[in-house]
Amino acid sequence: MMPGSESTEPTTAPRGHALGFGCASLYGLPGRRERRAVLESAYDLGIRHFDVAPIYGLGIAEAELGDFAQAHNDIRIATKFGIRPTVIGRMAGFVQPPVRRMLQTSTTVKSKVKQSGAAPDAGVVGRVLYSRGDYSVAAAKRALLSSLRVLRTARIDYFLLHEPHAVLADDYQDLVDYLETQRSRDVIGCWGPAGDLSRADDASVATLSARAPALQCPYDLIAGYRGPQPERDRLNITFGFLAEALPRVIGVMSSEPEFRAQCSELLDADLGDPRTVLRLLVRDAVAHNPSGTVLVSSTKIKNLEMTCGSVDVALRNEVQVANMIRDCFLGVRAAR
């Protein structure tokens, strides 16, 4: 879907526990104790949905979340298959603390490694650390058994195809049959694709998305949905509402003082303050997934507190202001 083509009106008011926690960025922290503190804080703030994958933390994320789940049996867990750490990647997982300490001394090196190692197709580091491309029934079986064992659970709430774009085969009916069988046996709660689902050139992913009982795709105020819009009869998870939109909105508010003043007056809050921008983006993301889950991923407990505290606190004229900002980036803002 093209950015801006979706409805910009929320269908219902946001809900108090609409947020889930994405574990991907958690492994920017060097120590297990620090990571557990963030997970505990997310739980204390009311979050009950936790999203993980075998590649997060280069193979250690599922195990750590499994330990956390033993003390919190009311949480929902989403994990994925299709991308796994290579042998080298798993070895790197055991030496992450000293590697992170080294990277912290050079932000330039850290940025390059992070960009290159974000996924199997994200550069040399990604190709060394991750293997991908296997969405066969055999691979799904291996992944499911492994995740159940490592997470120490008899049931996984969401079992998702991790970034299947350009990799999913045309003939995937056997995979769907297998996933539906596991769903009927209550080994998984539901299944579906996770990632950017908006690429029109991938007919297999588009068809699978239409059939899946759950979807996980990006949404932010500027780009909109990078996948199908949420539906009331489907489990919808969105993510990425802050990563790109927050710095871009802060930037336009800084560079266009008249526009900032106009929006701030309508909002009755200062959009020159990054905390206000964050509040607006939280409200917009949750309002555009009213019956689903919006993932937030942070290593800073104060940011988690601010995000969770923004969900149910409405801002004056927030929908109008969000639309004005969206139009600004789309280049169709009315002359002021």
Give tens-digit pLDDT for 182-209: 999 999 999 999 999 988 678 899 999 9
pLDDT grade, residue 16 (50/70/90)? very low
More confident residue, 125 or 219: 219
Where are the domains positioned within the chain? 19-212
How does DSSP assign 248-280, residue by residue? HHHHHHHH-HHHHHHHHHHHTS-TTSHHHHHHH
Are 219 and 225 spatial neighbours (Cβ–Cβ below 8 Å)? yes
From the list 212, 208, 188, the residue with the least C-alpha distance to 199 is 208
Are 41 and 29 spatial neighbours (Cβ–Cβ below 8 Å)? no
Q: Name the pTM for this structure.
A: 0.83
Beta bridge partners of 19: 294
Average pLDDT on 68-94 reads 76
CATH number of 19-212: 3.20.20.100
| pLDDT value of position 229 | 87
Span 121-132, pLDDT tens digits:
544 444 444 566
C-alpha span between 191 and 204 (Å, rounded):
16
Strands 156-162, 188-194: pairing is parallel
Task: Give the Å distances, CA to CA, from 173 to 114, 136, 195, 265.
Answer: 35, 10, 20, 54
C-alpha span between 250 and 273 (Å, rounded):
8
- Lookup result for tokens 């790197």: 92
